[in-house]
Amino acid sequence: MRILICEDSVLLREGLVRLLEHGGHEVVAALPEASELMSSVADSDPELCILDVRLPPTYTDEGIRAALELRAARPGLPVLVLSQYVEERYASELIAAQGGAFGYLLKDRVADIGEFIDSVERIQGGATVLDPEVVAQLLTRRSVDDRMQSLTDRERTVLAALAEGRSNQSIAALLFLSEASVEKHITAIFQKLGLDAEEGGNRRVLAAIAHIESSGSSQTGQAPAPHQQTTQTGTAS
């Protein structure tokens, strides 16, 4: 896979280059800031871009703005955003944005090399991979929408796992359910949220999370948290 990296930290940038190349991938560009991102993408034609959230010169939202611009200009190009902390506003902006396959992971996930490489490959293959902590914080917002309030605790837990990019088989193993039970819960979730079950799995996940964030009020309750360990991701069915 041809990968472009945009990360200001020299140590992390070089570490990512070595990690990805050791995993059998080609790093076509490694940029310290976003100013030349679009031209570099045009020149190197990567199959996936990895961007830091905070980049020079202000270290505020340069990476987010670059990711949004990239997803708008190249909707078929998978994008993985890395962040030091969970930043809900940035996460929800990117989730709601139009574009192709997408991932939002905390930087400490890079320490688990096997899982990080697996996440990169899944995103490039079309999956949506959201860090469990991002999902947990988005789901702690209690929705004022009757559709979200109609979900049972079990359905909220299944939705959280689904949003992490888990397959039905993975959700079943995580929650000690049969795959048939998981399918029934997912069908109920789609019906209650008014989502078209015939559309692509990742699109449904993004629509669900975007709905939770856009319709949520101030945090007033704690939804059942998704699995707290690093997730094994996959395309939801």
Any idea where the domains of the chain sit in the sequence?
Answer: 2-126, 135-215
User: Residue 198: helix, strand or coil by DSSP?
Assistant: coil
pLDDT at 17: 95
- Which pTM does this prediction carry? 0.66
**pLDDT of 44 above 80:** yes
135-215: CATH homologous superfamily? Response regulator (3.40.50.2300)
Is 135-215 in the same CATH topology as 2-126? yes
Q: How many CB atoms lie within 10 A of CB 110?
A: 18
Burial class (CB in 10 A: 0-12, 13-18, 19+), 177: middle
How large is the average pLDDT for residues 152-158?
A: 88
Helix (H, G, I), strand (E, B) or coil at 234: coil
State the pLDDT confidence band at 167, using cuts at 50, 70 and 90: confident
The set of residues, in sequence order, having a beta carbon less than 8 Å from that of 109 and lying 6+ positions away, is: 115, 116, 119, 131, 230
Q: Tell the CATH superfamily of the 2-126 domain.
A: Response regulator (3.40.50.2300)
**Dihedral (CA of 33, 38, 42, 43) sign:** negative
φ/ψ region of 51 (left if φ > 0, alpha if ψ in -120 to 50, else beta) reads beta
Would residue 30 be called left, alpha or beta, if left means φ above 0 and alpha means ψ between -120 and 50 degrees?
Answer: beta
Q: Residue 27: enclosing H or E segment and its boundaries?
A: strand 26-31
Residues in contact with 78: Cβ distance below 8 Å, sequence separation at least 6, in sequence order? 47, 48, 49, 100, 101, 102, 103, 123, 124, 126
pLDDT at 137: 72
3-state secondary structure of 102: strand
Check whether 56 has a pLDDT greater than 80.
yes
Amino acid 199: pLDDT: 46
Contacts of 17 (CB under 8 A, 6+ apart): 5, 27, 30
